[in-house]
Amino acid sequence: MTATQDPTNSTGPKSGAHAIPSYLDPNNIGPYEIYLEQVERVTPYLGKLAYWAETLKRPKRILVVDVPIHLDDGTVAHFEGYRVQHNTSRGPAKGGVRYHQDVTLSEVMALSAWMTVKNAAVNLPYGGGKGGIRIDPRKYSTGELERLTRRYTTEIGLIIGPEKDIPAPDVNTNPQTMAWMMDTYSMNVGRTATGVVTGKPVSLGGSLGRGDATGRGVFVTGAEAMKKLGMPMQGARVAVQGFGNVGEAAARIFHEHGARIVAIQDVTGTIHSDAGIDPKAALEHLRRTGKITDMPGTEEIKRDEFWGVDCDVMIPAALEKQITLANAGQIKAKLIVEGANGPTIPAADDLLAERGVTVVPDVLANAGGVTVSYFEWVQDFSSFFWTEDEINKRLDRIMSEAFGSLWDVKERHGVTLRTAVYIVACTRVLEARALRGLYP
Ligand code: NAD
């Protein structure tokens, strides 16, 4: 190592600019651009560790696979599949698998990078990973989705494993998907390997509390932020975008604690009620009719009107890039709790900060899911399972302690909570990188 390579003698590469890898379109980088911008923003706070900052910008490993399956009509269809391991400095890669027609490499890269930051933010011993298949699963039968999942798992089986990379559910995947992944991996390695995925059904080594964990973490961090901002929970008006695993649980738990859910938007439409919507009744209505709209006691509003709804807390819990410069100015909430990954573009984040809106960032707010996934993985290794009460108590403690210490960093540096989380998380990742050094 030369003197200029010595991390203690340098504060970073000579050129601050990062190279966009050739496999991304420099004119349309996609969601990974949001992440790169977030890294640029945090780099000045990293001190000598900035020497290693390029590490954060480059995923460690990317696997692109073809996933061919027999369709029910006798033809063969091919789908694009991905698994990205962004960083493994602090432990095995960990992150969900998404089935969506708009999945791209850039999106999976961004999601995997946010997992690196998230796992470090709440101090779980994991790196970051993510996977996805470019498919609209609503158009396929259960049998087709099972074949898709099994072939995809076999293809990415080269790089996943209980001590290497542990997938979990994300958008449009669920405990059944994880059961198929676990079974396929186990068949291929010749032993039952429950720890290869988390978010499994409880009867197959899943953890109690995993289903609600992300929504619960959204509630815990949201409630902590409300305390800091002097906002009472009782009667607080909450608007939720996305009514799936995260949004439904978050809405239900806020409602159970006395908040009033005034708007819900999902892919089928947007409903509003000043008097408040009962999330349990909304879920029943959705299950019965297949849509959120036409629920008795609510009015349907236009999709764009969601952002201007009179509310105190807004929870984006659907997809990324939802809060943009086109709608950030209309938001009336004083607090945004990001259930989804990457819902706010950086320019909108700046506008919200200027307007005095507090944002609990995704990498903290939705870390409850991976925290209970971590509990599941630990329980699988020891084959000893905890009660739901124990799990919820441990989850609440991890989330509220992480919130408290990150809020202190925000106050100390006079930055947004997002930058504070990135400062702490990136420091942890790069400290591990510096201690391990470069191999060989
Ligand atoms: P899900 O598939 O269970 O639900 C997604 C919801 O978003 C559905 O209600 C769907 O109707 C809605 N939606 C989709 N497109 C929409 C659109 N254009 N406008 C409005 N609503 C739309 O997914 P999920 O697991 O709840 O994940 C939601 C978000 O939370 C994603 O960003 C995901 O990455 C993130 N997340 C999930 C977990 C988890 O444990 N499931 C953990 C951390 C983060």
DSSP string, 123-143: T-S--EEEEEEE--GGGS-HH
Task: Kindly report the number of other CB atoms within 10 A of residue 438's CB atom.
Answer: 10
Predicted pLDDT at 20: 86
The pLDDT score that the predictor gives to residue 212 is 96
**3-state secondary structure at position 197:** coil
> Whole-angstrom Cα distance, residue 418 to residue 41?
10
Looking at per-residue pLDDT, the higher value among 409 and 9 belongs to 409
Q: Which amino acid would we find at residue 125?
A: P
Mean pLDDT over each residue of the chain, to the nearest integer: 95
**Model confidence pLDDT, tens digit, residues 340-361:** 999 999 999 999 999 999 999 9
For 225-246, how does the pLDDT look when each residue is reduced to its tens digit (9 = 90+)? 999 999 999 999 999 999 999 9
Give per-residue pLDDT as tens, 207-230: 999 999 999 999 999 999 999 999
Residue 230 phi/psi, 5-degree rounding, is 70, 30
HSE of 271 in the Cβ direction (CA atoms, 13 Å)? 26
State the pairing for strand pair 335-337/313-316. parallel
pLDDT at position 57: 96
At 7 the pLDDT is 44
369 CB within 6 A, ligand 1: yes
The confidence band for 17, taking pLDDT boundaries of 50, 70 and 90, is: low
In this structure, the residue with its CA closest to atom 36 of ligand 1 is: 340
State the Rg of the chain over Cα: 21
* Cα separation, 428 vs 440, whole angstroms: 22
pLDDT at residue 9, as a whole number:
47
> What is the percent of the chain where pLDDT is above 70?
96
pLDDT at 131: 98
Kind and range of the H or E run holding 293:
none
Concerning whether 130 is annotated as a catalytic residue, the answer is yes
E-strand spans in 178-316?
237-241, 260-266, 269-272, 299-301, 313-316
In sequence order, the 6+-apart residues with CB closer than 8 A to the CB of 80 are 64, 65, 66, 67, 103, 133, 134
* Residue whose pair of structure tokens reads 């996609």 in the numeric block: 30
Is the confidence at residue 375, as pLDDT, over 70?
yes
Task: Determine the average pLDDT of the residues in 400-415.
Answer: 96
Res 8 pLDDT > 50: no
Output the residue whose Cα is nearest ligand 1's atom 40: 369
Alpha-helical (H) ranges within 257-387 are 279-289, 346-354, 362-365, 368-382
pLDDT band at residue 44, thresholds of 50, 70 and 90? very high
Under DSSP, the state recorded for 318 is: S
Q: Which residues pair with 238 in a beta bridge?
A: 261, 313
pLDDT at 373 over 80: yes
The model scores a pTM over 0.85:
yes
Query: What CA–CA distance (Å, rounded) separates 256 from 116?
Result: 32
For atom 3 of ligand 1, which residue has the closest CA?
244
Q: Which helix (H) or strand (E) holds 75?
A: none
Mean pLDDT confidence for 199-212: 96
Selection from 95, 91, 97 nearest residue 115 by Cα: 95
Is 235 exposed, middle or buried (CB count within 10 Å of its CB: 0-12, 13-18, 19+)?
exposed
Asked whether the predicted pLDDT for residue 121 surpasses 50, the reply is yes
Q: Cα–Cα distance between 59 and 5 in angstroms, integer?
A: 22
Half-sphere exposure of 2 (CA within 13 A, CB side): 2
The pLDDT-based confidence of 125 (bands split at 50, 70, 90) is very high
Residues in the chain: 440
Residue 289: how many other CB atoms lie within 10 Å:
12
Q: Look at residue 283 in the predicted model and tell me its pLDDT.
A: 98
* Interval between CA 36 and ligand 1 midpoint (Å): 23
Binding residues: 94, 118, 214, 245, 373
- pLDDT tens-digit readout, 139-198: 999 999 999 999 999 999 999 999 999 999 999 999 999 999 999 999 999 999 999 999
Atom of ligand 1 at shortest distance to CA of 111?
Answer: 34
Please work out whether the CB of residue 19 comes within 6 Å of at least one atom of ligand 1.
no
Query: Could you tell me the pLDDT band of residue 10, with boundaries at 50, 70 and 90?
Result: very low
Q: Does the structure show a pLDDT above 50 at 407? A: yes
